[in-house]
Amino acid sequence: MSIQMLSETIDLMSKNGQGILAADESTGTIGKRLSSIDLENSFENRRLYRNLLANTQGLGKYINGIILFEETLDQKDNKNVSIVEILRSQEIVIGIKVDKGIKEMPNFPNENITEGLDGLTNRIINYKEKGARFAKWRNVMVISKDTPSETVVHSNSEMLARYAVICQNQGIVPIIEPEILMNGSHSLQRCAEVTEIVLKELFHYLQKHKVKLEYTILKPNMVLPGQNCDDQSSTAEIAETTFEILKRSVPYSIPSICFLSGGQTPTEATERLNAINQFSDNKPWVLSFSYGRALQEPVISSWIGKEANVTKAQEALLHRAKMNSLASLGEYRIELES
């Protein structure tokens, strides 16, 4: 285990006012985004889009890390420069999605387990050689009357812990993502209860497997009511509840908590991150963002696959990155959107 490498990576990724761009969409997921602008899900279109993201000048001011999909590590721009090198030139740390996706948990209908531990050590070594310094593994849980079950929470938590150990033993910082989806009609309080259970179980297994928490990044959901809940909580209620659950569940040795955006709109994700940081004056962690769709949605709609729109799309990315940077400092204002 390279403690020095882990320490250096964590220092680079735990700076106030910076966050992570999640650009690790699988081939299927990025295909859905491309189809929304009537583009074929081809290797070339994927390369052009990722090249657009990487070549956004000034992005490194607000983004300190980027999570890539395996394919992207080998992609190059039109000048034959690797996307990895382009990102490094802006001092953006390279990360990689290493899980193999979610599958239905046997004997537990409508619940999932994330796969990918088989061969993970060799994949990590390969990704590290290509420039990756951190990794990400995502679990997905759904709130309903009977879910998530105790067994599924246990199983996913242990899977995350085993993944984290493999990463750290190779000098790679693990991002741990126990996502609780917004799907459903559950209340804010029900989400709070489930989030606390999941986080406490997760850290039980991380400590049981001797994961070094000081070299780990947590990527949780904010505590939110379900999308179909009749009572949609205020931004202030969401911020207060989220911070209280974190205080009760997350050890202070975790250096950085980077929220996922889930199904939130770009402005919702920014406003709520800002409110959490304003609510928490004496926070023991850096509270930042690791957004995918909430950063990329305006980029896709601005680009629509046209070379003439690349600059416009990059400006949209830079704007959203800047807004979330301000939100991570508690300095965002809605007037800045215009």
Enumerate residues 6+ apart whose C-beta is below 8 A from 64.
Answer: 12, 13, 15, 18, 19, 20, 91, 92, 93
Active-site position among 177, 201, 271, 297: 177
Helix axes 266-279, 310-328, angle to 10 degrees: 20
Cis peptide before 148 (omega within 30 of 0): yes
- Is the separation of the CB atoms in 250 and 44 below 8 Å? no
The H or E element spanning position 79 is none
CA distance 145 to 98: 31
Find out whether 326 and 336 touch, Cβ atoms under 8 Å.
yes
Instruction: Reply yes or no on whether 219 is catalytic.
Output: yes
Contact 99, 138 (CB under 8 A): yes
Tokens for 178? 């126990």
Tokens 């993944």 found at: 163
Q: Estimate the crossing angle of helix 293-303 against helix 43-54, to 10 degrees.
A: 110
Question: In this structure, are residues 216 and 7 in contact, taking their beta carbons and an 8 Å threshold?
Answer: no
The residue type found at 265 is T
174 beta partners: 135
Q: How far is 233 from 250, CA to CA, in rounded Å?
A: 23
Calculate the CA 198 to chain-centre distance: 17
Q: Is 200 in the active site?
A: no
Kindly name the residue from 136, 219, 297, 322 that is annotated as catalytic: 219
User: Cα separations (Å) of 323 from 98, 281, 319?
Assistant: 29, 20, 6
Give CA separation, 202 vs 179, 189, 252, in Å: 12, 20, 15
Active site residues: 177, 219
